[in-house]
Structure 1
Amino acid sequence: MRVFSYISSYKFLKMPSKVLSRSLIPVRFRSTLSPEERMRYIQWCSYVVIAGSATVAAVSLTRDFMKAGELSEGKYGLPSIGGDFNLIDHNGNPCKLSDFRGKWVLLYFGFCRCPDICPEQIERLVEVSDRIMLIEKPKYPLVPVFVSVDSERDTPDVLAKLFTTFDWADWY
């Protein structure tokens, strides 16, 4: 209250009657309120506006924090890891997860129309798998699997032609 009484002593707050006729104070209070009462009325209106603004800000911030908390807690969905899958090999035969049980699987994700890197990387994978099979003689067989990321153009016929070209007979 001390701050507002200090502010009311400024000359610019003591408005002439011409300005008061256009002010926000209701007409019925203009003639009956003394300058001190007018200042109290303005103070209370300011309090109401500030309290309302603070309430709106608090509610909106609380909602934002609740949404952020839900996202950080992972309530928006969990990935499906380790489930069964269905693939088609280069001969058109279906492959499932159970076909690869008890085997080491070497996955390669690519596409047939990759001009440079894909065939080179697959040749490296073939070399690595051959070395592992010859040198290490693993307990479980190593099965290389080519997973196409371009299923529209990489049909089983195209994959079969690619596999015979590069002699990848044991690939799925």
Structure 2
Amino acid sequence: MIEFFHTKDRLRFLLYVGAIALPILLLSAWVVSSMEDSAAAKGEPNDKGGLHYRIQEKSGAKALPPALAALVSLPPNTAMTDVSADTDSAGRLTSASIKAFSTDDFKTVAAFHRPALAPVTHDAQSSLEGVRDGYDIKISQESKFFDNDPYKDRTKIEYYVTPSKK
């Protein structure tokens, strides 16, 4: 097999094929990857008969899934980089988690969310919990950063949304 490439013409042919094929392969991989990301952001069927949403944007999610957008609003100076949400067959939110990074401190972020939570069930220096429209919402400052976190110089905030237990 290696003897096939001993001539300059055959080696040149192999390089031409590689030069043409490599950009096509890279473009195809990028198109498939962006289509998968787009489908996950628009919602994919889950085992509850609803949809599972997954948005991962280093610069910040532009829009939240409809069921989640009604409950959580974006504070100023904050980028929600990882959003995962599930809905049931009626379109109600069953669970959601959000990772966000803010240039503000946690106290400022908590002050933004506090008026929307009624009642506030837990208020501490690095966490805020409350109820909104029948959902328990927990907002906490995380001190542990991972290698894949896009911002290490900002305040890391995690949101957890679950239906209230009545």
Q: Return the index of the structure with the highest Cα Rg.
A: 1
Q: Same fold (TM over 0.5)?
A: no
In terms of fraction of residues, the more helix-rich structure is 1
TM-score normalised per structure 1: 0.30
In terms of fraction of residues, the more strand-rich structure is 2
